[in-house]
Amino acid sequence: MCGFVGFSNIKENISNNINVLKGMTNTLQKRGPDEEGFFTKEHVLLGHRRLIIVDADNGKQPMSATYQNNTYTIVYNGQLYNTKDIRKKLIDKGFEFSGYSDTEVILKAYINYGTNIFEKLNGIFSFAIWNEQKKELILVRDHFGIKPLYYTIVDNTIIFASEVKALFKHPQVDITLDSISICELFGLGPAHTPGNGIFKNIYELKPAHFLLWNHSGFHIHEYWKLESKPHTDSLGMTCDKINYLLEDSIKRQLITDVPLCAMLSGGLDSSIITAYTSNYYKQNGLPPLETFSIDYIDNDKNFVKSDFQPNSDNYYINIMKNKFKTNHHNIIIDTPELVEALEDAMLARDYPGMADVDSSMLLFCNNIKKEATVALSGECSDEIFAGYPWFFREDALNSNTFPWSIALSERQNLLNPEISKKINLKEYIDYRYNESLSNVAILETDSPDTAEKRKISYLTIRWFMQTLLDRSDRMSMYNGLELRVPFCDYRLVQYMWNIPWNMKALNGREKGLLRYVVRKLLPDEIVDRKKSPYPKTHNPSYLKVVKEKLNKIIENPNAPIYDLLNKNYIKEILDTNGSAFTRPWFGQLMTGPQLMAYLCQVNMWLEKYQPKIEI
């Protein structure tokens, strides 16, 4: 797990820009704290920061290989879970390997199979490969965008990096916001349009896409997508296949040369991963699994039930750690450090994010890193097994917009009235919403329920899940921690995509089919527990602090966000402790305090990056 940067100009000699390359690479030190490496040729420069997970001696990057008098060089960020399978096929074709790193396997697989190999890679990855003979660069991103990759093109030069901050160290890259940036920040944020880097002329390579850069320019291709087809398996066969795919995905992701652990909230998803992993450890004579949970000072005292967060975690965590004999660590976060970490969380993302949902994850990962370098997470289960309330709530299903972000008029009202006259957030949101839905293939055999849920599933996978995957990657890698997400195995997601709604929502429950599959694996109390999302703080001191911070910002005419906001509406939100913004403004957890924190993060972001604003 690492970070990389690079730039290429096919028409000019750029090899003397090594200092620019080093400056860009240095920004990714947190992603790769263990090693750095550089590669320079006439038309391309590549830089790499490494977090050592597998094969310390033979996995150094940039890595080059020569085949039939041509040299190929790779920089790579990720982890491949079918390394052994692909290596065996390559050995049968006559390839030799100096070690057992997945980097070498990907490079030689590309040499042999070309772009046909991408859809067969099972893992989390983004990488760049330079073909010296063709003078061709290829950029690739995994099936669901678990690993990031950003790029921009300026004056015949393509500049790319694992994080946006690295791009800004290149002298040709401007830091600019335009009207689309404002729509993304205030209309969609903290989500963003797939492919959009929020800053003007900054793009992300979309998941399951690759980009070719050569003498003919640049070309982007989709190498994989969800395929809609009839589901013909019986309930029993469906359960068997899900069980196999789940267990296989988890086992594949246990390969590492460094300490591994699991995040455990006592919810269904993290408990499934803990159970499978603990059983595997026991069968193979390994020490007890290390598990970690997060909580907040005085949370039990201040906890209030809601439809989105019906119960707290501690009771269920104790059931799991006792049942599976894990060595459990409970991380307790206090309000001051949660607020202080808002800026680091913004810097980790390069954008305003999910407020304390981000900063708590950042602090959680920081504590885990003291004991482990790889962690397993239950992320992505809710998206593919239909775990969110909006799969069932009529107000969300009939909203005709992204169901985790239905407070459209309130979002528009956040903007300064003069800006609001120029920018219609609803029009932009509607455009992105309908653009996404146009990609959903509905079958004639789909029932009305299944057709409707295909649409909501697609939106959830491509938008909401991406926001959470971005959070997981940035907050973990900011601490030099690799976070793995077994539920996001593309084979499992593809299989679940076509299961009809009456089977997926078995017994009328969220994640009903998943509960049925794991009924014998877990205690009944875990299986029957109502979904509860990633925990947030309920301590009133958090509201008090972020309210004070936002109040200072809107009272300061020199604050960079000052001219963007509708100060009267912001004051109303502050005066009512957030209740003037009548609904969760994003997802399940982000209500008044999180909105205030988000606006604080926007101000921090503008202060740090100092973009030009063109509206």
| Residues involved in catalysis | 2
pLDDT at 518 over 60: yes
Cα distances (Å, whole numbers) of residue 38 to 22, 45, 164: 8, 8, 19
pLDDT at 5 over 70: yes
Structure tokens at 274: 């803990």
Confidence of residue 308 (pLDDT cuts 50, 70, 90): very low
Residue type, 355: A
Tens digit of each residue's pLDDT (9 = 90 or more) over 196-249? 999 999 999 999 999 999 999 999 999 999 999 999 999 999 999 999 999 999
Report the pLDDT value the prediction gives residue 307, as an integer from 0 to 100: 47
CB-CB contact of 116 with 210 (8 Å): no
Tens digit of each residue's pLDDT (9 = 90 or more) over 256-268? 999 999 999 999 9
Ramachandran region, residue 285 (left: φ > 0; alpha: ψ -120 to 50; beta: rest)? left
For the segment 299-327, the average pLDDT, to the nearest whole number, is 76
CB-CB contact of 507 with 517 (8 Å): no
Is residue 233 helix, strand or coil? Answer: coil
Rounded Cα–Cα distance for residues 304 and 117 (Å): 50
Rounded Cα–Cα distance for residues 55 and 502 (Å): 46
pLDDT averaged over every residue in the chain: 94
Report the pLDDT value the prediction gives residue 300, as an integer from 0 to 100: 66
pLDDT at 379 over 60: yes
Can you identify the CATH homologous superfamily of domain 235-527?
A: HUPs (3.40.50.620)
Tens digit of each residue's pLDDT (9 = 90 or more) over 140-197? 999 999 999 999 999 999 999 999 999 999 999 999 999 999 999 999 999 999 999 9
Cα distances (Å, whole numbers) of residue 440 to 143, 453, 462, 565: 16, 11, 11, 36
Tens digit of each residue's pLDDT (9 = 90 or more) over 540-564? 888 899 999 999 999 999 999 999 9
Exposed/middle/buried for residue 66 (C-beta within 10 Å: 0-12, 13-18, 19+): exposed
Residue type, 410: E
Domain locations in the chain? Answer: 2-222, 235-527
Report the pLDDT value the prediction gives residue 101, as an integer from 0 to 100: 95
CB-CB contact of 408 with 426 (8 Å): yes
Nearest of 463, 360, 355 to residue 405 by alpha carbon:
463
Structure tokens at 486: 């077994």
Neighbours of 195 (CB within 10 A): 13
Confidence of residue 301 (pLDDT cuts 50, 70, 90): low
* Domain covering 2-222 assigned CATH 3.60.20.10 in the classification: yes
pTM higher than 0.75: yes
- The reply to whether 235-527 shares the fold of 2-222 is no
Strands of the sheet containing 217-222, edge to edge, are 63-67, 70-80, 123-131, 136-141, 209-214, 217-222
Find the angle CA(207)-CA(208)-CA(214) to the nearest 5 degrees: 100
Residue type, 538: H
Tens digit of each residue's pLDDT (9 = 90 or more) over 570-597? 999 999 887 777 778 898 778 889 999 9
Rounded Cα–Cα distance for residues 49 and 552 (Å): 39
Neighbours of 133 (CB within 10 A): 10
Place of tokens 């969800």: 226
